[in-house]
Amino acid sequence: MDMFLYVDVESFVHRLDPRTKLLLMFLSFAVGVMFNNILILTAALALVVAYGALGRSLSNLKRIRVVLVMITLFSLVIWSIARPSGNRFLVFSVDGVLYGLMIAVKTNLMIVAGMIFLSTTKIEEIAQGLVKLKIPYRAAFAFSTAIRLVPMIVATSYTIIQAQKSRGLDLDSGNLIEKIRKYVPLMIPTLISVIRGTNIFSMALESKGFGYSDDRSNLLEIRMGGKDYAMMTAGLLILAAAVVLKVDHSIYDAWASIFPWGDFA
């Protein structure tokens, strides 16, 4: 299934422990959240993209480009109309365009960081990482099973759409409320045929010893190595630098003054 973002190649980032990659993702989120300055955010985005290149995962940018472009356009348009201050060109305010751009970079930064994590980490590694982070096994199991089920359910719902279309269901006509109502013949069979499986599913699980004991072994082995500690240290250093930048006004102002119109702190 090529529904998922995972890119099956070898790379430095692929070989990192899932916990390391999870931490790096959250660090990117943190830096994104901390600043409202186009320059700083762009620099952070550049770092994230470089990390993505190291993980040979940038091919996925193409797959989520619609999302990225939409975020950018939406932010630009809505904020440039909405921001009241400053000079206007027609209905657009210059200040608003820059503010929109800043929000776009901020949001895209996080989306790209999330994409890199998913492109370089297998589902089973994520689940395994969660277990190592003391998330109970059963929750991690439910999570990874749900992911496995998604393509199956999508395929089932696709068949159901075809079956109902063959019987004359026309999803394109009618007003909004009628359209929403037309989802009933699609959703009911999907829900019923999936939920019907609960019993068999649980029976098959228990029949394979699920819950036999709390002590479980694991075929997959994930282990923190030197490169994990190196990457985590690098990430934390960057965060520390960001905190200094945030707290120390003199440094921050020096940065902000390079392009004062792009700063909204």
Partner 1 sequence: MKDVFSMWKKTKMVVLVALCAGLYAALLIPFKGFVLIPGITEFRPASALPVVMGLLFGPAGAWGSAIGNLIGDFFGSLGIGSLFGFVGNFMFAYVPYKLWINFGKSSEGIGEPDLKSGKKILAYVVVSILGAAACALPIAWGLDLLGMVPFAALGSIITLNNSIPSILLGIPIMLILYPRIKKWDLLWTDIMDEDEIPVAGRLSRIGATVMTVSVLGGMIGGFLAAFGVGQGLLYSGFGAGGDVGSLGVTLVAGVGTAGLIVSSFIQTMPKKSS
Partner 2 sequence: MSGTKSIEVKGLSFTYKGEGAVRAVDSLDLDVERGEFIVIMGPSGAGKSTLANSLNGLIPGFIRGKYEGSVLVNGKEARSTPVNRMASEIGLVFQDFEAQLFSTNVNLEIAFGPENFAVDRAEIAARIEKILRTIKLEGFEGRQPATLSGGQKQRLAIGSVLATYPGIICMDEPTTDLDPVGKLGIFNIAKELHEDSEFTLIIIEHETEEALNADRLVIMKEGRIVAQGKPADVLRDVAFTDEVGIMSLQIPKLLSELGACGRDDLPMLPAEGAEFFARKGLFLDRERFREMLDRDEARERGYGDTIVAVDRLSHVYPNGNKAVDDISLVIREREFIAILGHNGSGKTTLVKHLNGLLSPSSGSVTICGKNTAEHSIFEIGKEIGYVFQNPDHQIFADTVFDEVAFSPKIRGCPAEEVSVRVQEALEAVDMAGYEEKDPFSLSKGERQRVAVASVLSARPRIIILDEPTTGLDYKEQKRMMELIKKLNDSGHTIIMITHTMWVVSEYAHRVAAIKDGKVMMDGRTRDVFAREKELYDSFLKTPHIVSLGNMLGGTVLSVEEMKYCTGGLE
Residue 54 as a binder of partner 2 (CB under 8 A): the answer is: no
Report which of 129, 122, 112 is spatially closest to residue 18, judged by C-alpha positions.
129
> Residue 37, SS3?
strand
Q: What span, in angstroms and rounded, lies between the C-alpha atoms of 55 and 15?
A: 9
- CB count, 10 Å around CB of 220? 10
Residue 136 interaction partner, one of partner 2, partner 1, none, beta carbon < 5-8 Å per kind: partner 1
Residue 238 interaction partner, one of partner 1, partner 2, none, beta carbon < 5-8 Å per kind: none
Q: Could you say which residues in the range 21-50 bind partner 1, by CB under 8 A?
A: 29, 32-33, 36
Q: Give min distance, CB of 140 to partner 1, in A.
A: 10
The Cα angle at residue 163 between residues 160 and 165, in degrees rounded to 5: 105
Residue 221 as a binder of partner 2 (CB under 8 A): the answer is: yes
Write phi, then psi, for 136 (nearest 5 degrees). Answer: -55, 145
Binding characters for partner 1, 69-98, by CB under 8 A (x = yes): -xx-xxx--xx-xxxxx-------------
Residue 156 as a binder of partner 2 (CB under 8 A): the answer is: yes
Question: Of 227 and 238, which has the nearer Cβ to partner 1?
Answer: 238
Among the listed residues 69, 85, 135, 218, the single contact to partner 2 using CB under 8 A: 218
Q: What span, in angstroms and rounded, lies between the C-alpha atoms of 252 and 9?
A: 40
Residue 178 as a binder of partner 2 (CB under 8 A): the answer is: no
Residue 123 as a binder of partner 2 (CB under 8 A): the answer is: yes
DSSP letter for 93, please: E
Report which of 134, 78, 126 is spatially closest to residue 101, judged by C-alpha positions.
78
Q: Could you say which residues in the range 114-173 bind partner 1, by CB under 8 A?
A: 114-115, 117-118, 136, 138-139, 141-143, 145-150, 152-154, 157
Q: Are 118 and 64 in contact (CB under 8 A)?
A: no
Q: What residues contact residue 89 under an 8 Å CB cut-off, 6+ apart? A: none
Residue 220 as a binder of partner 2 (CB under 8 A): the answer is: yes
DSSP letter for 90, please: T
Among the listed residues 209, 247, 257, 260, the single contact to partner 2 using CB under 8 A: 209
Residue 188 as a binder of partner 2 (CB under 8 A): the answer is: yes
